[in-house]
Amino acid sequence: MAATLGGGFGGQWSVEKLECVEAYISSYLKVMQKQRWELSYIDAFSGEGIQRFKHAIQSRKHESEDTVNEAYAEAFTEGSSLRALAASKEREIEGGRGFDRFYFIELNKAKLDALRCRILSQFPDCANRCVYICGDANKELPGLIGNMDWQKDRAVSFVDPFATQFKWSSLECFKNTCCDVWMLFPLFAIIRMLPTSHLPSEDWCKALDEIFGERDWRNLYHEKTQLSLFGEEEVEREKGVDQLLEYATRRYRQDFPGVWGPAVLRTERNAPLFALYALTANHSPQALIVSGKISRHLLNSIGA
Ligand X SMILES: C[S@@+](CC[C@H](N)C(=O)[O-])C[C@H]1O[C@@H](n2cnc3c(N)ncnc32)[C@H](O)[C@@H]1O
State the Cα–Cα distance between residues 120 and 97, nearest whole angstrom: 20
State the Cα–Cα distance between residues 286 and 198, nearest whole angstrom: 45
Q: How far is the CB of 119 from ligand X (least distance, A)?
A: 13
When the beta carbons of 47 and 262 are compared against ligand X, the nearer one is 47
230: Cβ–Cβ under 8 A, 6 or more apart, which residues?
Answer: none
Q: How far is the CB of 107 from ligand X (least distance, A)?
A: 4
Q: How far is the CB of 14 from ligand X (least distance, A)?
A: 7
CA 279 to mean position of chain CA atoms = 11
Half-sphere exposure of 263 (CA within 13 A, CB side): 23
Q: How far is the CB of 171 from ligand X (least distance, A)?
A: 13
Q: What angle (nearest 5°) sits at the alpha carbon of residue 277, between those of residues 271 and 280?
A: 175
Q: How far is the CB of 4 from ligand X (least distance, A)?
A: 13
> Cα torsion at 182, 188, 189, 192 (round to 10°)?
150
Residue nearest to ligand X (CB): 79
When the beta carbons of 86 and 220 are compared against ligand X, the nearer one is 86
When the beta carbons of 126 and 159 are compared against ligand X, the nearer one is 159
When the beta carbons of 78 and 153 are compared against ligand X, the nearer one is 78
Binding footprint of ligand X on the chain (CB under 6 A): 18, 45-47, 51, 79-80, 105-108, 111, 136-138, 160-162, 165
When the beta carbons of 88 and 287 are compared against ligand X, the nearer one is 88
State the Cα–Cα distance between residues 212 and 215, nearest whole angstrom: 8
